[in-house]
Chains A and B, each alone.
Chain A
């Protein structure tokens, strides 16, 4: 039973468009919410992370939005590029605990 539910399973977006991936969690003790990016044949790598004391964090074209009351957080990829084509995993943990990963979203950015 996954503690972090991620959607959609896959999405296709045109170059220059916005990709949005959503995650929801149940455990209110979670206090660390990272996103990992995985290219084919590679291991996941940390993309961006947020703590619940802020509602938004932006790094370049990647933004995490966090809604504590709804227990949801999302990744927005602005001006999507073909090089962003990858699988994205959301995750959550509490400070003394392990990361719980979502099921992953395969993003394809078409030229």
Chain B
């Protein structure tokens, strides 16, 4: 089954304790991205990657890191989490075709993070 898998789905942590949210896709997509969803703000892009070893900042990258060492994986790293990073996080992927910005985004089921 084609899917984007995120782990953990739920996490409660404390300020300053490094954490990693993993993301893996089995559709051989070149493009992967992380979003955070907050009430009234919709989906805001944190980082994206057009291919292996190619990553770039989205709209709200502060406090986050990413890496893309393999095509299928795109982990999100919070080096020193703070309470304002409490949010619902989504990983997504899609093909990069002729119309590079267009095309269906496939989302994971989300990771709800609480930072105390």
Contact = CB atoms under 8 A, between A and B. Distances in A.
Interface string A29-63: 00110101000011111100100000000000000
Interface in A54-111: 89, 93-99, 101-104
Contacts, number: 59
A53 B10 CA distance: 42
A28 interface: no
Contact of B101 (A2, A9, A42, A95): A95
Given A6-B42, A98-B58, A42 B104 contact: no
Nearest to A45: B107
A64 to B, nearest CB: 15
Interface of B: 4, 33, 35, 40-45, 48, 58, 90, 92, 99-102, 104-105, 107-110
Contacts of B4: 43
Contacts of B92: 43
Interface of A: 2, 6, 9, 31-32, 34, 36, 41-46, 49, 89, 93-99, 101-104
A98 B43 contact: no
A44 B93 CA distance: 12
A5 B33 CA distance: 22
